[in-house]
Amino acid sequence: MQTVVITGGTDGLGKGLALHYLRQGARVLAVGSTPAKGEALLAEASAISAADRAEFVLADLTSVAAARDLVRRIERGCTAVDKLILCAQRYRLFGPRTTTDEGFEHSFALAYLSRYVLSHGLRPALEAAPRPVVMNVGTPGIRLGRVHFDDVQLARRYSGTKATLQSFRANDLLGVAFAACYPGSAIRYVGYNPGVVSTGMPDHLPQPLRTLAKAQFALFATSVPKAIGPMVRLLDDPPNLPFSAYRGKRQLPLKAPAFDQDAAQRLHHLTQELLEEAAAA
């Protein structure tokens, strides 16, 4: 039986994928920070006779310690992980800069650091599976934002948009660096941009942006069941490449600046240092 781990598996795209793989007979571990959403997912799993294969894992992935603990819990409970799908995200486009208890800027911590810790931490469990895949769901192919190497915590010139876009670009580089770190690994790492999809994402935006975003979603967005089609095809049959990136069905050229090898290595080493400092604190 396949084991599928999905962060943000209790809502939106992650939940759509969780229910898909439960219907396919897989064991699914869905990670989220809201117990009520986890319970709702388990009720839906029950309704499709998959209660015994569905697990809700409560974790606040803004915390590096929680992400590390999640790795240990998964390793204890699973001999292998076939698919790791990284969807956990909460946009903070407005408002003041906030930091986590560990001192990291919120978007950097949730949308990038947790994905770094889970990708690298679960590598042995993934490599124990016959065809392991990591799908990092973000916005590859969008030429907006950059990694602010001189100030990755955005302590000097913060804006929510800058932080959100930085987390996207950091995830582009995470996939590049991950592939370079483990030459010969069977893991296929896929960066994936689903386009605009009608999820609960606008619920967390302030008014009037929430209403505006919902209206735009109603007009232009793809539904979750439709959006997960190409994701599932890639997850079940990824290209035979250590790293690939897609925007919908279109494979992106890796020579674009967003996937620069030097920048990827620089961010990888910077992240290692930040995590070591946090562990020592």
What number of H helices and E strands is found in the chain? Answer: 10, 8
Quickly list DSSP for 158-178. Answer: --HHHHHHHHHHHHHHHHHHH
- Residue 140 touching ligand NAP (CB under 6 A): no
Kindly state whether residue 139 participates in binding ligand NAP, applying the rule CB under 6 A.
yes
Is 100 among the residues that bind ligand NAP (CB under 6 A)?
A: no
Residue 102 CB partners (closer than 8 Å, separation 6+): 63, 64, 65, 109, 278, 281
Task: Choose which of 201, 213, 235, 275 interacts with ligand NAP (CB under 6 A).
Answer: 201
Nearer to ligand NAP, 27 or 37 (CB): 37
Q: Which of 191, 194, 238, 242 binds ligand NAP (CB under 6 A)?
A: 194
With beta carbons less than 8 A apart as the criterion, state whether 195 and 229 touch: no
- Kindly provide the b/e burial profile for residues 157-189, where b requires at least 16 CB atoms within 10 angstroms of the residue's own CB: eeebebbbbbbbbbbbbbbbbbbeebeeeebbb
| Listed ranges 5-13, 69-77, 143-151, 205-213: which one lies at the site for ligand NAP (CB under 6 A) | 5-13
CA distance 234 to 55: 23
Considering only residues 12, 132, 175, 238, which one is a binding residue for ligand NAP as defined by CB under 6 A? Answer: 12
Q: Which of residues 207-236 bind ligand NAP (CB under 6 A)?
A: none
- Which stretch in 68-76, 123-131, 196-204, 232-240 sits in contact with ligand NAP by CB under 6 A? 196-204
Q: Which residues bind ligand NAP (CB under 6 A)?
A: 8, 10-14, 31-34, 37, 59-62, 87-90, 110, 137-139, 193-194, 196-197, 199-201
